[in-house]
Each structure stands twice: as structure tokens, then as C-alpha cells.
Amino acid sequence: MASPHVKDVTEEDFQTAVLQRSREVPVVVDFWAEWCGPCKVLGPLLESVAGDYGGAFALAKVDVDANQALSAQFRVQSIPTVVAFRDGKEVSRFTGAYPEQAVRQFVDAVLPTEVDLMVDQARTARIDGDATTAEHLFRQALAQTPDHIDAGTSLASLLIDRGETDEALIVLGKLAPDAEVERLQSAARLKASVGNDLTLLESRVSSEPDDDIARLEFAKALAGRSEYEPALDHFLVVVRNRAAGKEAARQAMVDIFGVLGDEHPLTAAYRKQLASALN
């Protein structure tokens, strides 16, 4: 394989050569074996297409006999199987020796669109500190593709950071639900209380410890400032008291779990306590 866009990949370098690399350009993985007749037809065709596309995508070749763990991980049950990755995730696949036109259509479908490239440009602008340009490009991308998940979540993240949580929730509401959309929705709801007077709310809770509504608002203000552990403590009190704000407190705790992620120790500890309080 003389092409710089084609590489033999093993279990040892799959993370780098495929998953990490796919954050730069799409990576098409050809799962094949030496004894497989259809593989001998499809493999050279994929390599030829990779050369024709001149680096628009990378082709990774995985010998299933030598890399059985990878085959199992990606549920390769027959070969040849071709799996495309973008941004570290599988986005498409096919099985069998496709003809050239079908292979090219498959590749075209996984390449970034003009809107995708615009979103990448916007993300670069944001990293460089140019939030104005980033926001303009995210909005321009959404004007062309209203349900573009990356443009929508990126714009929502920018709006949340700026405290414009209502608009962020509107943007997120137009997207197909997934883990990142739900995480940002949780973050937006928590951030909405950041403007509340923390000192005043704390004073109310201290002077009126049985006022569950005051405690709820205090907990929301803490969560809006990312002070998650004390916020969870106060939310839990409201839930245990079965007060009028019980459901709001429960939802706020779930929102914090969503922001922190399932693996965070606070999530594990307080999720158990919440479940116990609800029983």
C-alpha cells in the first residue's frame, strides 16, 4: 500500500489511527481476511477510491484473524465489513463487496458537508477567543440545517456560558435528543438560577429552616454556580420533606447528575440517596 491515506491497523494502534484520527478526517475501516474472496475484490477498490479522494478520508485495514478483539468490539459477523468513523464514533457501515459506484456513494455520505466545515471553523474561532465570529457561524449553519446537532449544541453551550439560558433551551429543543443535548439542557436549567442573591437566600434558609421553597431556591442558586454538593444536600432535604417543591428538587438533582455524568462520585452517592428518599 503505497498510498499515504491507507494504513494497516491493529488492536494496539486502533485508538490513535482510527478513533482519534477520525476527529480530523473521516476514517473508513475495512475489516478483511486473507482467505476471504470478496475481500480481495473490495480491498483494492477501497484503496483506489482512497487515492482518488486524496486525503478527504483515511482508509484503515484491519485483518480480522489477527485482531479478533476488534472484530468482536465492532460486531463484525461477516467480511468484508466496512465501518466509517467521524469524531470518534461510528457513523455508517456496510457488509459485502459493493460495486465502485456504491462505495463512492458510501464515502460521499460520510464526508463532512459545507455546513460541517462551517461548524468546525466556528469551533476554532471559539477556541481562539472570537466568540462573536463563532456565534455568527453557528447561527449561519443552523439557518441552513436547523437540526444540525453539532451547530446546535455548540451554540447552546455558548449561550449557556453567557447566561442566555432561555434561548439555549429553545435551540436544544429543535435537536434530536441525545446524551449531549440532555446534558446541555440540564446545564441550562441549572444556570438559570445563577442571578439569584445567594446571601439573601442563605439568610432565609438559616432563619426559616422549615421553608422548603426558600431552601429550593437557595439550592438552585448554588447549582447555578456549580456548587453541586451543597446544592444536592439542600435539594435532598426538600425531597425528603415531600414539600411542594419536591418534584422541582428531584428534577434539579437529575439535572446535576446529567451535568456531572454517571461516573462522577457525587452522582453515584446522591442518586442512591434520592432513590431512597422517593420510596
Q: Which residues are catalytic?
A: 36, 39
CA distance 126 to 99: 42
How far apart CA 25 and CA 9 sit, in angstroms, is 16
C-alpha cell at 25: 478526517
Q: What is the distance between the alpha carbons of residues 183 and 88, in angstroms, rounded to a whole number? A: 19
Report the distance separating Cα 208 and Cα 225, nearest Å: 23
Q: What sign for the dihedral angle of Cα 263, 267, 268, 269?
A: positive
CA angle 186, 189, 190 (to 5 degrees): 85
For residue 143, give the amino acid letter. Answer: A
In angstroms, rounded to a whole number, what is the distance separating the alpha carbons of residues 277 and 250?
10
The answer to whether 76 and 59 have CB atoms below 8 angstroms apart is no
| Cα→Cα distances 60→3, 52, 123, 184, Å | 11, 16, 27, 34
Give the up-direction half-sphere exposure of residue 189: CA atoms within 13 A in the CB hemisphere.
Answer: 20
- Nearest Cα to Cα of residue 17 among 63, 60, 50: 60
DSSP label at residue 22: G
